[in-house]
């Protein structure tokens, strides 16, 4: 297939997302040099971009459907962490070859998630090279309603959605050649958009967990200028993780990446909201700790004894020794 055929195939396969056309504010989409988009009056544009490289961000045996699904999901997760509502996406594809069947399955994976969240593909770029997928997600937030990393205060609760550590454990099993019943956690993370939007106006800070709990909580603490104590026995885990020894499980939960759950801080006064959101949105929410003035993260067991985790999370440019 030639480049223009590939683009046309993607355009046709994703055109279902256009069904609402005008309401989606797309004045010009795929086919011109750039898209022209109408941001609704009284809203601010929120933009996020994330790249997934084959072998680094997804195992080489991942299906094209899941590669697309995950590429979009991680970008929508960034919008979720901001409390934003997604609307458009741009897709930059680098592929070693242009195979019709591969593109068909990829587009299907993209559309399956895009439709759920009303996201329209409005453009992109296509090149040949090592497999790499870069998506830019665009959405809206009402002025001043965005969630940030910097508003957390000592005394606020530390809360996490869903379960954590499951994706990292599934990946490790996979790399060791063992099957995992929870591989779907790795391939199809759930962007917590409804939760992010609900948190707007309540949470003092929010981030999505992509690189590991300690690393991402660390970003919030640094931006907010405070520290935290965590009760590691409150960390929510998956069924597969339940079978591990405590310390091994905690390692996946504290330092494993790829969960794409939301980690947020909540002033005590709003704590009664947790049960309401959990019930309304059908998302498990766990209070795992509290913020403190003291910088840094301190981990404790239920009985109050301290625990020192090793490592902090995923880092692309590790310092060579
Ligand atoms: P240009 O050379 O002007 O950058 P391209 O030939 O790269 O234009 O792209 C033509 C049109 O197709 C543009 O509207 C672009 O946004 C769109 N496009 C290219 N690749 C993709 C892709 N992978 N997904 C969606 N749209 C794409
Ligand atoms: Mg181009």
Q: For residue 121, report the distance from its CA to the centre of ligand 2, in Å.
A: 15
DSSP states of 269-319: GGTTHHHHHHHHHT--EEEEEEEESSSEEEEE-TTS-EE--S-----TTPP
**What pLDDT score does 23 carry?**
61
Q: Which ligand is nearest to the CA of 125?
A: 1
Largest CA distance in the chain: 63
Closest atom, ligand 1, to C-alpha of 32: 14
Tokens of 181: 């019943």
Task: Compute, in angstroms, the gap from residue 127 CA to the centroid of ligand 2.
Answer: 8
Angle at which helix 100-116 crosses helix 64-81, to 10 degrees, equals 30
pLDDT for 80 equals 98
Per-residue pLDDT of the chain (321 residues; tens, 9 = 90+): 889 999 999 999 998 876 655 468 999 999 999 999 999 999 999 999 999 999 999 999 999 999 999 999 999 999 999 999 999 999 999 999 989 999 999 999 999 999 999 999 999 999 999 999 999 999 999 999 999 999 999 999 999 999 999 999 999 999 999 999 999 999 999 999 999 999 999 999 999 999 999 999 999 999 999 999 999 999 999 999 999 999 999 999 999 999 999 999 999 999 999 999 999 999 999 999 999 999 999 999 999 999 998 776 666 665 543
What's the 110 CA to ligand 2 centre distance in angstroms? 20
Whole-angstrom distance, CA of residue 88 vs CA of residue 96 = 26
Does the beta carbon of 10 sit less than 6 angstroms from any atom of ligand 1? yes
305 CA from centroid of ligand 1 (Å): 57
Neighbours of ion ligand 2 (CB under 5 A): 125
Q: How far is CA 5 from CA 2, 16, 234, 269, in A?
A: 5, 18, 52, 56
Does pTM surpass 0.75? yes
Contact 209, 133 (CB under 8 A): no
How many angstroms separate the CA atoms of 272 and 55, rounded? 43
Assigned token pair, 42: 């009284």
Query: Tokens standing for 252?
Result: 């996946």
């Amino acid at each position: 297939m030639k480049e223009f055929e590939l683009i046309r195939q993607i355009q046709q396969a994703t055109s279902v997302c256009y069904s609402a056309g005008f309401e989606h504010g797309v004045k010009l989409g795929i086919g011109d040099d750039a898209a022209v988009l109408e941001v609704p009056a009284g809203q601010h544009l929120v933009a996020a971009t994330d790249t997934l490289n084959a072998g680094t961000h997804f195992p080489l045996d991942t299906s094209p459907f899941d590669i697309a699904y995950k590429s979009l999901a991680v970008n929508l997760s960034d919008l979720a962490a901001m409390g934003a509502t997604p609307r458009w996406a741009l897709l930059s594809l680098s592929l070693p070859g242009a195979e019709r069947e591969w593109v068909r399955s990829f587009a299907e994976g993209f559309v399956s998630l895009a439709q759920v969240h009303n996201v329209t593909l409005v453009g992109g770029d296509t090149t040949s090279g090592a497999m790499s997928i870069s998506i830019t997600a665009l959405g809206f937030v009402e002025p001043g309603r965005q969630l940030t990393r910097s508003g957390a205060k000592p005394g606020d609760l530390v809360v996490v959605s869903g379960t954590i550590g499951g994706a990292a454990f599934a990946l490790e099993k996979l790399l060791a050649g063992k099957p995992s019943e929870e591989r779907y956690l790795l391939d199809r993370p759930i962007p917590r958009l409804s939760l992010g939007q609900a948190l707007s106006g309540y949470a003092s800070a929010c981030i999505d967990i992509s690189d590991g709990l300690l690393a991402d909580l660390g970003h919030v603490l640094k931006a907010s200028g405070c520290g935290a104590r965590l009760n590691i026995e409150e960390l929510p885990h998956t069924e597969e993780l339940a079978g591990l020894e405590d310390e091994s499980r905690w390692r996946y939960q504290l330092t494993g990446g790829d969960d794409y759950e939301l980690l947020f801080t909540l002033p005590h006064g709003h704590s009664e909201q947790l049960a309401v959101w959990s019930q309304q949105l059908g998302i498990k929410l766990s209070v795992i700790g509290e913020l403190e003035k003291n910088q840094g993260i301190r981990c404790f067991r239920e009985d109050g004894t301290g625990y020192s985790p090793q490592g902090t999370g995923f880092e692309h440019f590790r310092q060579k020794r």
